[in-house]
Copies of this chain bind each other. A is one copy, B any other.
């Protein structure tokens, strides 16, 4: 059975900013959904302004990996939905958080930290160096990915030290950033991937599509052990 991916997008910029609309006329989620479908996954989409943000119990129960893109409306995401997503991740659903999703409620909640960082948006060059070349998320890539124009994110990035650090970005303007970070939380896997500002055609870039595709494969639940919690009345010796 194909991996079932749900691509979630705030979907605001694409409606109210012509510059973004020019790059993502149908929304960032549609571009992501398209290349993931071409990679063979079973892909649906959901957006903030749908009922329950499109993240109903039914929708999540049919999702192996959730992809999250948000930017200006993090606070409009309902706390109850955030809790629902967190529970799903802890029970095994994969989560890929993109770019400005670093301060989404769901990512902060799973990390336990502020997830703050430095930023600068002048369209400078970014080069993502792979520091863990045998990691499945780097499969099929060259030694680095170059993005001609990007918004800079700089350290310090207030996250827990990743379980695996896969890429570190170099920015023309003088900063570095831990750009591809893997975590295990509960039975689920969480992958933060930095690139993706809405005013540059970054999700149209083939290497970026490759990383997200690899990320879906990495984050998808396998055949986990069924764990139990609670009272064990007797010794088991």
Interface residues of A (CB under 8 A from B): 86, 90, 92, 109-114, 116-120, 122, 124-125, 127, 129-134, 136, 138-143, 152, 154-158, 160-161, 163-165, 168-176, 178, 183-189, 221-237
Instruction: List B contacts of A225 (CB < 8 A).
Output: 130, 133-134, 138-139, 141-143, 156
Chain A interface main SS type: loop
Q: Are B112 and A224 in contact (CB under 8 A)?
A: no
Contact of A118 among B131, B138, B163, B228 (CB under 8 A): B228
Q: Are B90 and A154 in contact (CB under 8 A)?
A: no
Q: Are A161 and B158 in contact (CB under 8 A)?
A: no
Q: Which 8 A-B pairs have the closest CB atoms?
A: A173-B235, A133-B225, A116-B229, A174-B236, A110-B112, A139-B223, A156-B227, A134-B187
Instruction: List B contacts of A221 (CB < 8 A).
Output: 134
Report the Cα distance A170→B234, complex, angstroms.
Answer: 16
Q: Are A174 and B229 in contact (CB under 8 A)?
A: no
